[in-house]
Amino acid sequence: MTPKRAVRLAALVLIACLIAGVLSMAAVGSQRRTTFDAQATSLQRTWAHDLAVGVPAASITPLQSRLREQRPQDEWWAPVWWTTDDQRLLTALTDASDTAYAAAMTAQRDKAQLVVTDGQQELTQDRGFMTAAQISAGQGWPAQLKAATTPDQLASLAATWQEQLDATRTAVVAAQQQAEIQTDVATAGGPSALVSQAGTALTTAGTDNLDPGDISDLATRLQSEESSGADTTQTAGLLYAALQQFNQLVSLNDQLNGEMRPLMLLADQASAEDTPNSASPQAQYQQVDQGFLADTTYDQMSTLQVQVTGIQNALAADLAADQCGHDAGGGSGKVITLSLSLQEAVFYDNGCVVGASPITTGRPGLNTPTGNFAVFYKTSPFTMVSPWPPGSPDWYPTTVVQWVLEFADGYFLHDAYWENQNAFGPGSENDVAQDYASHGCVHFPTAIMPWLYNWTPLGTPVIITN
């Protein structure tokens, strides 16, 4: 073979080898691309499944983005393609997918376990108030928890169990309340005793102008059920609760009743002192007093109590702020002022209020005189003798009082032990039936008279106004 021909043959062999190499590389590259795409598609299907069974999108979306951004984009013949480790990417994404699924399972299992724990605690605490079905359902939760294989199964179980647990707790509370009511009814003496208590409550409601609610209807129904031998449990419980509510109303009514007189006396004192805000105390008191007489329900009286407290605080603050600086009309030093319309006495020392008291003055026809007077006689004790003969409507038996301050001929400031200590104040001057109204003197509560007697020197001005 000639040299020229040998060279040509070698060239042909080289070209054939190159073509074979290229074809081999193309085959390998194509297979690698096919394998990568198949694995990537499988991974996408895994993610779709994971999302469908409850793995959070926040865990899967970053993995999808990573695959999209880092997958090889060049052709198989590009050098960069051959230097990229695509299997490492797929392995990393597969591991991350497994981790995300496991984390979702753990999170949902922990949530479900909390409900199971709460259920077991409820079963331990309140088993006696639960039905057999409720107990059986709760006992099956641990096995159901163990059998769950996907996050959404766990989430569904947790939601179902929580709903069942809430319903069970509601039923348990109702059962406990029913048991308490049955105990209360028994403690109260049973249905017959409740009917008797209802009668007493209705009498109180009529006397005190209070709303008895459904007490009458419930008592009638309970009495009928008891007579017929029917189950009285529900009606007895309702009547017991109604009586308890009514007792709360009675207590609030009594409390307000006890607050009305002190409020009246505060209003009287503020008016007698003519404090800066004293133009309205009487009107404020009259408003709440009328409300007290008219209100019949707990809600109405609760609202009224707030109003009473507000007026009390305002009047007390007004009196405290206006203690000094008064012109009592009797000059400097000690002065006693009496208001017949308010039935209120106020004691001043150099223009400052040192005390006040409700009083009772002369009855109609024997009114206490008005004007400016002064104490000219004082003694303790003192025997009071009626200037009217027996048989006269104005006669009174000889009476010993402990402290007297005479300010006009036959007119005294003195104690009156026979008068109810809560009767002093407006209206008492007209109470002839109880013999509280005086015959012209001025009655003071026994509690204040010793102080007034010692505080008052002879010559102290006594100013009496209408």
What percent of the chain shows pLDDT beyond 70? 90
Answer for the pair 367, 361: CB distance below 8 angstroms, yes or no: yes
Angle between helix 3-52 and 57-70 (nearest 10): 170
The whole-angstrom separation of Cα 414 and Cα 342 is: 18
Residue 253, in any domain of the structure? no
The whole-angstrom separation of Cα 356 and Cα 266 is: 10
When mean pLDDT is compared across 17-21, 128-132, 201-205, the lowest value belongs to 17-21
pLDDT of residue 403: 98
Answer for the pair 145, 161: CB distance below 8 angstroms, yes or no: no
pLDDT of residue 177: 87
Contacts (Cβ under 8 Å, ≥6 apart) of 189? 196
The band of 75, judged by pLDDT with boundaries at 50, 70 and 90, is: low
The domain that holds 415 is classified in CATH as: 2.40.440.10
Residue 256 has pLDDT above 70, yes or no: yes
Residue 288 has pLDDT above 70, yes or no: yes
The band of 426, judged by pLDDT with boundaries at 50, 70 and 90, is: very high
The whole-angstrom separation of Cα 90 and Cα 96 is: 10
Residue 337, in any domain of the structure? yes
Residue 168, in any domain of the structure? no
Adjacent-strand bridge partners of 138: none
What does DSSP say about strands 399-401 and 382-384: parallel, antiparallel, or unpaired?
Answer: antiparallel
Phi, psi of 352 (to 5 degrees): -110, 140
| More confident site: 282 or 381 | 381
Tens-digit pLDDT profile for residues 183-221: 999 998 999 999 999 999 999 999 999 999 999 999 999
How long, in residues, is the chain? 466
Residue 71, in any domain of the structure? no
Give the total number of structural domains in the chain: 1
Q: Stretch 161-185: mean pLDDT, rounded? A: 93
pLDDT of residue 79: 58
Residue 81 has pLDDT above 60, yes or no: no
Residue 17 has pLDDT above 60, yes or no: no
The whole-angstrom separation of Cα 399 and Cα 435 is: 13
Residue 5, in any domain of the structure? no
Residue 77 has pLDDT above 60, yes or no: no
Residue span of the structural domain in which 436 resides? 324-465
pLDDT of residue 105: 95
The whole-angstrom separation of Cα 352 and Cα 319 is: 11
Residue 464 has pLDDT above 80, yes or no: yes
pLDDT of residue 28: 40
Answer for the pair 388, 307: CB distance below 8 angstroms, yes or no: no
Spacing of C-alpha 410 from chain mean position: 59
pLDDT of residue 279: 65
In 127-150, alpha helices (H): 132-139, 141-147
pLDDT of residue 19: 53
pLDDT of residue 333: 93
When mean pLDDT is compared across 178-182, 346-350, 378-382, 440-444, the lowest value belongs to 178-182
Q: Stretch 244-254: mean pLDDT, rounded? A: 97
The whole-angstrom separation of Cα 219 and Cα 240 is: 10
The DSSP H or E segment spanning 118 is helix 86-126
Answer for the pair 211, 155: CB distance below 8 angstroms, yes or no: no
Residue 95 has pLDDT above 60, yes or no: yes
Residue 309, in any domain of the structure? no
Residue 98, in any domain of the structure? no
pLDDT of residue 25: 44
Mean pLDDT in the chain?
Answer: 90
Tens-digit pLDDT profile for residues 364-412: 999 999 999 999 999 999 999 999 999 999 999 999 999 999 999 999 9
pLDDT of residue 127: 94
Residue 419, in any domain of the structure? yes
Residue 308 has pLDDT above 80, yes or no: yes
- Token readout for 324 is 């000094």
**Biggest CA-to-CA distance, the chain:** 182
